[in-house]
Structures are given as C-alpha cells and as structure tokens.
C-alpha cells in the first residue's frame, strides 16, 4: 500500500511529519491492508499561518479501496496531530462500515454452511447430547 502526504504552503512538510502521518495511516488501515491500495493525506492550515483557532488544522484522507468507491474523510482540530488522529479514526470507521459487513458476510457464509451440515449430520446420527 502506498501513502502520499501533501501539505499546503502553511504546513512545514518535514520528513518527521510525513513519517508520523504514514505510521498513523498504516495503523488505521491495518485490518484492511489487503483491500486498501493507496491513501492520500492532505494537511492544511484552514486560517493561514498567522491565525489560530479550535479547528484551524485540517487533515483530509482519501483511501483507494479495491472493489469500493474511494473513501474520503476529513477532520479539523486545534493542532495538526489532533487533526491527523481524528481523520485516521474516521477512516478506520469508514473502512469498517464499507468493508466490515462484506468480511462478516464472507465469514458467516463460509463457516455456516459446513458447520450447519456437520451439526445436522450429527443430529441425524444421534451423536449430539443435550449437555
């Protein structure tokens, strides 16, 4: 999976910041790493560098996911790190919503058929006890 970090002109795009963003994103999509092919992170200062505020920093994440439309989430906060963490949490939730149900269906479908057949056979053969 590829992670690309872009910043606006008010954010210092240092290597340490990029490594931090990559690590947070990789943790956020870990469960769905097989389906997520690419994540773009867009970091920005909403009000410009000379003004502050409670929601001054923005992190927008766009994940490309196999078999699903792109997933885009955004979070604004008072600091860049809080914006990144908030967006990563939203991305995890969005992936869970988009992909979790399909994973659950696949697990239930694969397990239910065989398990049900085995239980039915044992019931027919009188091998199961009421314990």
| Distance, CA of 56 to CA of 77 (rounded, Å) | 6
Whether residue 7 lies inside any domain: the answer is yes
Q: How deeply is 81 buried, as exposed, middle or buried, from its count of CB atoms within 10 A (0-12, 13-18, 19+)?
A: middle
Confidence of residue 110 (pLDDT cuts 50, 70, 90): low
**43 domain residue, yes or no:** yes
Query: Residue 49 maps to which CATH number?
Result: 3.30.160.100
Convert the pLDDT of each residue in 60-93 to its tens digit: 999 999 888 899 999 999 999 999 999 999 999 9
Q: Which residues form the domain of 53?
A: 2-103
- Per cent of the chain over pLDDT 70 is 71
State residue 11's pLDDT score.
82
Q: What is the C-alpha to C-alpha distance for residues 40 and 16, in angstroms, rounded to an integer?
A: 17
108 pLDDT higher than 80: no
Indicate whether 127 belongs to any domain.
no
Alpha-carbon distance 4 to 38, whole Å? Answer: 8
Residue 35 within any structural domain of the chain:
yes
**Alpha helices in 1-131, H assignment, sequence order:** 15-29, 80-95, 101-125
Q: Is 126 helix (H, G, I), strand (E, B) or coil?
A: coil
Could you give the number of structural domains in the chain?
1
So what's the pLDDT on residue 19?
93
Residue 124 inside a domain? The answer is no
Question: Hey, is 3 helix, strand or coil?
Answer: strand
Does the pTM exceed 0.85?
no
* 10-61 tens-digit pLDDT: 887 678 999 999 999 999 999 888 899 999 999 998 876 666 566 789 999 9
- 117 in any annotated domain: no
Q: Which residues pair with 72 in a beta bridge?
A: 62
Q: What is the C-alpha radius of gyration for the chain, rounded to an integer number of angstroms?
A: 22
Contact 72/62 with Cβ under 8 angstroms? Answer: yes
Question: Is residue 27 in some structural domain?
Answer: yes
């Amino acid at each position: 999976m590829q992670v690309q970090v872009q910043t606006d002109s008010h954010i210092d795009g240092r290597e340490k910041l990029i490594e931090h963003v990559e690590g947070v994103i990789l943790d956020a999509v870990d469960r769905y790493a097989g389906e997520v092919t690419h994540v773009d992170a867009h970091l920005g200062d909403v009000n410009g560098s000379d003004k502050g505020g409670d929601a001054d920093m923005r992190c927008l994440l766009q994940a490309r996911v196999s078999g699903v439309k792109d997933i885009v989430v955004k979070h604004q906060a008072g600091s860049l790190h809080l914006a990144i963490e908030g967006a990563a949490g939203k991305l995890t939730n969005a992936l869970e919503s988009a992909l979790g149900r399909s994973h659950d269906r696949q697990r239930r479908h694969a397990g239910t058929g065989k398990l049900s057949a085995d239980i039915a056979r044992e019931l027919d053969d009188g091998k199961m006890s009421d314990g």
